[in-house]
């Protein structure tokens, strides 16, 4: 399922650590590994287009896994 989500990037201290996109509606998505380092900056507000992966499980299990296809930085701290 392809989605567009606006939210804030966070680093979650689960296990070895996990990157998350906390959407404006409060939903937390775990960002799938391999995402751009330009995206992975804590506190950065972004608009992300991607796909929710239903066939993937992770160690952190903080929310649905989001495979990022593209993103736009709205603002950064």
Q: Tokens for 65?
A: 């896994």
pLDDT score at 15? 76
pLDDT value of position 77: 67
CA separation for the pair 61, 46 (Å, rounded): 22
Domains and CATH numbers, the chain: 2-75 (2.40.50.500)
Would you say the pTM of this structure is higher than 0.95? Answer: no
DSSP state letter for 39? T
> Are 68 and 40 a contacting pair, CB within 8 Å?
no
Pairing of strands 2-12, 18-23: antiparallel
Half-sphere exposure of residue 30: CA atoms within 13 angstroms, side-chain side: 19
One pLDDT digit (tens) per residue for the chain, 77 residues: 699 999 999 999 987 889 999 999 999 999 998 899 999 999 999 999 999 999 988 888 899 999 999 999 998 76
Residue 9 exposed, middle or buried by CB count within 10 Å (0-12, 13-18, 19+): buried
């Amino acid at each position: 399922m392809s989605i567009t989500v606006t939210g804030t990037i966070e680093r979650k201290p689960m296990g070895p650590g996990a990157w998350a996109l906390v959407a404006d509606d409060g939903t937390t998505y775990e960002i799938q590994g391999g995402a751009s380092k330009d995206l992975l900056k804590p506190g950065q507000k972004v608009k992300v287009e991607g796909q929710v992966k239903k066939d993937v499980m992770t160690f952190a299990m903080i929310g649905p896994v989001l495979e990022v296809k593209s993103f736009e930085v709205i603002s950064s701290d």
